[in-house]
Structure 1
Amino acid sequence: MKAAQIMSFGTPDVLRVTETETPTPGAGEVLVAVEASSVNGHDTMVRAGGLKLVLGRKVPMGTGLDFAGVVVEIGTGVAGFRAGDRVWGMVHPRRRHTTAAAAEYVVVAADRIGLAPAGVSAIEAASLVVTGSTALIALRESVGLAGGERVLVRGAAGGVGTAAVQLAHAMGGHVTALARGRHAAALRDLGADEVLDYGTTTAEEIGPFDVILDTVGSELNCYRSRLAKGGRMVTVGLSAPALAAIAASAIHGSRRIRTFSANPGSAVLDDTADYVTSGALRPIVHSVYPLADIAAAHQAFEHGGVLGKHVLAVSS
């Protein structure tokens, strides 16, 4: 099978699409023929060498966190899925994979997949696996968003941001989106009640908010100060400075900066699929690349500034 692999750590040109053996599912696992995957911050961080302490230094290493495709083989002990099922899911983000989701086939634990939402293509589904589940966990579990609360989504035009705007709206929040001004109309269409241009708006000029969902990972203390009494903040944009800010914010109790590892199982994927099927969560795909052009997809992701996701078309 064809699979994208990291041959050494560095810039996108270390990625290669190679021929390798098709994996075989073990007990509790399924083999999925991948139709689409997407590019996420986790992928670029692994490729650049930022997770060597967790994943080790051995290369070649697989790349690609999420996928949508079709089950082709079931391992022993798997219930609830069968060959031919259209599914979506994620490989485990904290385990090293020789080949991962950016490949023609992927083996994954059955409790890390769900039935793909009806009414969307594999390309569209792949754009929502990480983004939709991450936004759902952040809003529902990390900060417990309630109807009527004022929500700020910082970095609202990105993958997680566009999902968060939609889900916060669906949960009854009053949503303020902070993003590039040129994305204002699209974000209002997704459910934002207000859109602020981050290029001309400072943190000191906005708020207070009951909930802040940050996808950027910088100036965290400044934005945390815009919380109302009893407000909650969560960030999914992790870096060394962000981790320091998160740790230091513990003195603020419930108004601290929270974070989490987005590692959804089948239940969260099923809940995300329900939002998609109902129309409350729509896929926002900016561009589609063939698997052979994965380096260009990584470059585009790191350049930023777009609305929605970069997706890899693996097979049809």
Structure 2
Amino acid sequence: MSEAQSPQSTVDVATMTAIIAPQYGAGSVLRTEVVARPNPRPEEVLVRVRAASVCQGDAHLLTGTPYLLRLGFGLRRPKDPIIGHDLAGEVVAVGREVTGFRPGDAVFGSVNSGAFAEYVCVSAQRLALAPAGISVEEAAALPDSGMTALQGLRDVGQLRAGQRVLVNGASGGVGTAAVQLAKALGAEVTAVCSTRHIEVLRSLGADHVIDYTTDDFTASGRTYDVLLDLIGNRSLRDCRRVLAPKGVFVSSAGAPGGDWAGPIVWMGKMVLGNLFVSQKIGILLMRPCRADLEFLAGLAADGKFRPLIEKRYPLARAATAVQHILDGHAQGKTVIVI
């Protein structure tokens, strides 16, 4: 009997290859090991992973910074040593409480940890059927960046058709998703990036591109209804200067703030800022959910959103893939093919 035909919620005891982080550090600490294959809980789906993408969350959990993260994820070493959040693959088995999925389904989604492995168990609420017409690598690149951009623009920013939006940090995974999603929502999009990313962002639909190496977007004289800041490299005062009177500044939790507190100090400033200005200041904390995955899948199937993949690596080179993200300045997504 093949895996795709395995009885519901019944999985043979077996092993798998996985990428293990035995300690905090850079990509060089990662190891390839053979470990026990997991079994799904009642609310989970066991997925045979075909591709996984690397996101900033993977980098933060690997390095253990900001250090306050370690209170929840392990003080001395990662509590969940198999890293990785985003994945795409096929359903092998489902827990007894799961509906809507069956063995053999092509799926994609997000898990707290464990995606850099041949198999992973995923909550059914954080999984969706893969969209037609895109590759498994592209499906794996959808969840984190797509949901972060979508929730930042639609939910926190309250972006509406006809409005102007500026994306600061537009060349990364979230930024390239945000440019496409803002266009799909009917906005006029300005992207901020370095010189080498200009043409790519134009090809993704950006109406205007600002090269931060030669121009200062806070001094352009243009105003925006929504400013999605994925970098945190400009002061709140500077960003407010280019917001419309009733505009919304959406701050990513990835803004810098040191190895100890990370973005917490920055987030505190955002909360206080709301007390003194007419413009709205919102903090972006992405929450994975099936509804948003299905929304993204619909846009991808319609050709309105396609993740930009810069590099692909085999599972054996996962350490190199993660280090590429840690080094900074990646364009779009980095994917591990399993």
TM-score after normalising by structure 2? 0.87
Match of 2:24 in 1: 9
Larger radius of gyration: 2
CA distance in 2, matches of 1:48, 1:183: 27
CA distance in 2, matches of 1:193, 1:270: 27
Match of 2:108 in 1: 88
Pair 1:305 & 2:329 matched: yes
Residue pair 2:88, 2:140 contacting (<8 A) in 1 also? yes
CA distance in 1, matches of 2:316, 2:272: 43
CA distance in 2, matches of 1:88, 1:118: 12
Specify whether residues 294 and 252 from structure 1 end up closer, same or farther in structure 2 by C-alpha distance, changes over 3 A only.
farther
2:208 maps to amino acid: E
Runs (5+) with no aligned partner, structure 2 = 1-15, 258-264
Pair 1:279 & 2:294 matched: no
Residue pair 2:228, 2:250 contacting (<8 A) in 1 also? yes
Residue-by-residue CA offset, 1:116-149 (whole Å, 9 max, x unaligned) = 1111111111112111111111111111101111
Specify whether residues 283 and 117 from structure 1 end up closer, same or farther in structure 2 by C-alpha distance, changes over 3 A only.
same
Residue pair 2:247, 2:279 contacting (<8 A) in 1 also? yes
The 5-angstrom pairing of residues 17-36 of structure 1 reads 17-36=32-51
CA distance in 2, matches of 1:270, 1:72: 20
CA distance in 2, matches of 1:18, 1:158: 30
Match of 1:143 in 2: 157
User: 2:284 is paired with a residue of what secondary structure?
Assistant: coil
CA distance in 2, matches of 1:28, 1:127: 24
TM-score after normalising by structure 1? 0.93
CA distance in 1, matches of 2:161, 2:337: 37
CA distance in 2, matches of 1:162, 1:110: 27
The 5-angstrom pairing of residues 125-144 of structure 1 reads 125-144=139-158
Pair 1:292 & 2:316 matched: yes
1:56 maps to amino acid: G
User: 1:270 is paired with a residue of what secondary structure?
Assistant: helix
Specify whether residues 156 and 81 from structure 1 end up closer, same or farther in structure 2 by C-alpha distance, changes over 3 A only.
same
CA distance in 2, matches of 1:303, 1:53: 25
1:196 maps to amino acid: I
User: 1:251 is paired with a residue of what secondary structure?
Assistant: coil
Pair 1:216 & 2:231 matched: yes
Pair 1:70 & 2:69 matched: no
Residue-by-residue CA offset, 1:158-177 (whole Å, 9 max, x unaligned) = 10000100111111111000
Runs (4 or more) in structure 1 with deviation over 6 Å come to none
CA distance in 1, matches of 2:311, 2:266: 29
